[in-house]
Amino acid sequence: MKITMIGTGYVGLVTGTCFAETGNDVTCVDIIEAKIEKLCRGESPIYEPGLEEMIRRNVSLGRLHFTTDLASTVPGSDMAFIAVGTPSSDDGRADLTALFKAVESLAEVLDRKTIVVIKSTVPVGTNAKALSILEENAGHACDLASNPEFLKEGAAIDDFMKPDRVVVGVRRPEVADVLHDLYRPFLRTEHPFISMSPESAEMTKYVANAMLASKISFINEMANVCEKVGADVNDVRRGIGHDARIGFAFLFPGVGYGGSCFPKDVRALYVTAIDAGAESHMLTVIDEVNNRQKTVLTDKLESELGSSLKGKRIAIWGLAFKPRTDDIREAPALVMIDRLLKLGADVHVHDPEAMENVRQQYGDRLTYADAKYGPYSTLEKADALMICTEWKEYQHPDFALMRNLMKQPLIFDGRNLYEPSRVADAGFKYYSIGRATTGG
């Protein structure tokens, strides 16, 4: 199949590359020339494990192409996917400017009844609105399907290649048949292909993300209660997770969820509910609990070091909103950095992949870890270490070396990476989430 993919972000690039991997002829289009230039050189503009190798392989086999020129690729395409960003507006609504712009540009160059598919996460009713724009501008009837994406950054290729399910929203069963055929190589293990109306498909994506976000906010709130009553949230998590009705997924306490999806999607679904005249108590609370959770680690640090951090050096390990990505959108680490800078701290940071993105935002207001010495280079004369992302390389650090480098033996672990008694034995005062503070 000849496919055009509009938008080469975390979703568009992975989707386009995976479609090429199964033998389709895919052209990815973006409006950012620098991105396309990089991709044409075989370099991925984002960090996603395994992606760059897959891009290179498919480019060299002549199945994957990159351009900024939509008009050069759409004519002759069997399908065109739209995977542009839909960020939050100030009022919480999804900002659909890029999406509708992409639809208009596409309509200008459609030369026949190509199947158009919205992969971006969009509120209910967007497909219908986009269809009328498409048909009006193209001057003929069009098929516009919705195909929400459920991949996780950091495991995106695996998720795309082996999805738990594929959901499509269509108006005609024939369109679902074409999409089913396209996805068949990814569904060989009998995972379902679920066809429904565009409205239900749009809603499915938001409900899935709100459900996952609610699990995180729930366990975070329980962690805070555990701390107050002398329980250990990790034991509680183990105690409930074996219940098949509950499970373990998304029940790790921490410093809140971030990223380009959960925060904006929970807010957008809340607005959808309110606009529709439906009540929505849970969605407000999920978001509120999460915003509050992003401050708990700095609260603990302030209670230990005082609220003026002038002259204090604070190290932060982990800046990306989660491991195995360089994405820092709405990352909890950024909330902490802002507060630490406001309180006058000298902030030294490390992340295996996200430092460049943070540097673009904060410039020389932060000190960045030395590439050669890695995370330890942030610890010299540090008054405290804060851990915000659970990268694997932080799991077994050299506590003796850390103790020697740091001015004060203080660790604030926002991801519960370590066994509290072990860190205390290594000479540290150790704060974590939902567990008793040890050492000191």
- Given 43, 76, 101, 184, the residue binding ligand NAD (CB under 6 A): 101
In the complex, least distance from residue 130 CB atom to ligand NAD, rounded to whole angstroms: 13
In the complex, least distance from residue 292 CB atom to ligand NAD, rounded to whole angstroms: 24
In the complex, least distance from residue 215 CB atom to ligand NAD, rounded to whole angstroms: 17
- Given 64, 102, 131, 426, the residue binding ligand NAD (CB under 6 A): 102
**Does residue number 353 form part of the binding site for ligand NAD (CB under 6 A)?**
no
Contact mark string toward ligand NAD, 137..176, x via CB under 6 A:
------------x-x-x-----------------------
Q: Are 260 and 329 in contact (CB under 8 A)?
A: yes
Tell the residue number behind the tokens 């491991």, with chain if given.
323
Longest dimension (CA), the chain: 73
In the complex, least distance from residue 322 CB atom to ligand NAD, rounded to whole angstroms: 10
- Under rule CB under 6 A, how many of the chain's residues touch ligand NAD? 27
Q: Are 3 and 79 in contact (CB under 8 A)?
A: yes
CB under 6 A: which stretch of 31-39, 271-279, 297-305, 333-341 binds ligand NAD? 31-39
Q: Give dist(CA 344, CA 365) in Å, integer.
A: 11
CB under 6 A: which stretch of 100-108, 137-145, 219-227, 300-308 binds ligand NAD? 100-108
In the complex, least distance from residue 121 CB atom to ligand NAD, rounded to whole angstroms: 4
Burial (CB count within 10 angstroms: exposed 0-12, middle 13-18, buried 19+), residue 91: exposed
Comparing CB distances to ligand NAD, the nearer of 8 and 73 is 8
Q: In the sheet that 346-350 helps form, which strands lie side by side, from edge to edge?
A: 367-368, 346-350, 313-317, 384-387, 410-413, 429-431
Q: Give dist(CA 325, CA 353) in Å, integer.
A: 7
226 phi and psi angles, rounded to 5 deg: -55, -45
Q: Are 67 and 29 in contact (CB under 8 A)?
A: yes
Comparing CB distances to ligand NAD, the nearer of 32 and 71 is 32
Specify the 3-state DSSP secondary structure of 129: helix
- Given 83, 117, 269, 286, the residue binding ligand NAD (CB under 6 A): 83
In the complex, least distance from residue 85 CB atom to ligand NAD, rounded to whole angstroms: 3
Cα dist from 74 to 53, 96, 290, 412, whole Å: 26, 22, 42, 52
Residue type for position 206: Y
Q: Are 349 and 314 in contact (CB under 8 A)?
A: no
CB under 6 A: which stretch of 29-37, 221-229, 304-312, 357-365 binds ligand NAD? 29-37
- Given 11, 297, 406, 410, the residue binding ligand NAD (CB under 6 A): 11
Q: Are 208 and 249 in contact (CB under 8 A)?
A: no
**Does residue number 98 form part of the binding site for ligand NAD (CB under 6 A)?**
yes
Tell the residue number behind the tokens 């205390």, with chain if given.
424
Comparing CB distances to ligand NAD, the nearer of 11 and 388 is 11
- Given 4, 12, 109, 123, the residue binding ligand NAD (CB under 6 A): 12
Comparing CB distances to ligand NAD, the nearer of 259 and 439 is 259
**Does residue number 84 form part of the binding site for ligand NAD (CB under 6 A)?**
yes
Contact mark string toward ligand NAD, 206..245, x via CB under 6 A:
----------------------------------------
Specify the 3-state DSSP secondary structure of 57: helix
Comparing CB distances to ligand NAD, the nearer of 106 and 343 is 106
Specify the 3-state DSSP secondary structure of 139: coil
Determine the residue with CB nearest ligand NAD. 9
**Does residue number 26 form part of the binding site for ligand NAD (CB under 6 A)?**
no
- Given 22, 72, 89, 105, the residue binding ligand NAD (CB under 6 A): 105
In the complex, least distance from residue 167 CB atom to ligand NAD, rounded to whole angstroms: 12
In the complex, least distance from residue 120 CB atom to ligand NAD, rounded to whole angstroms: 3
Task: Give the Cβ contact number of residue 267 at 10 Å.
Answer: 20
Q: Give dist(CA 88, CA 108) in Å, integer.
A: 27
Active-site annotation, residues: 261
Return the axis-axis angle of helices 51-60 and 10-21, rounded to nearest 10°: 50
Burial (CB count within 10 angstroms: exposed 0-12, middle 13-18, buried 19+), residue 192: exposed
2 phi and psi angles, rounded to 5 deg: -95, 120
Q: Give dist(CA 299, CA 294) in Å, integer.
A: 10
Q: Which residues bind ligand NAD (CB under 6 A)?
A: 6-12, 29-32, 35, 83-86, 98, 101-102, 105, 120-121, 149, 151, 153, 260-261
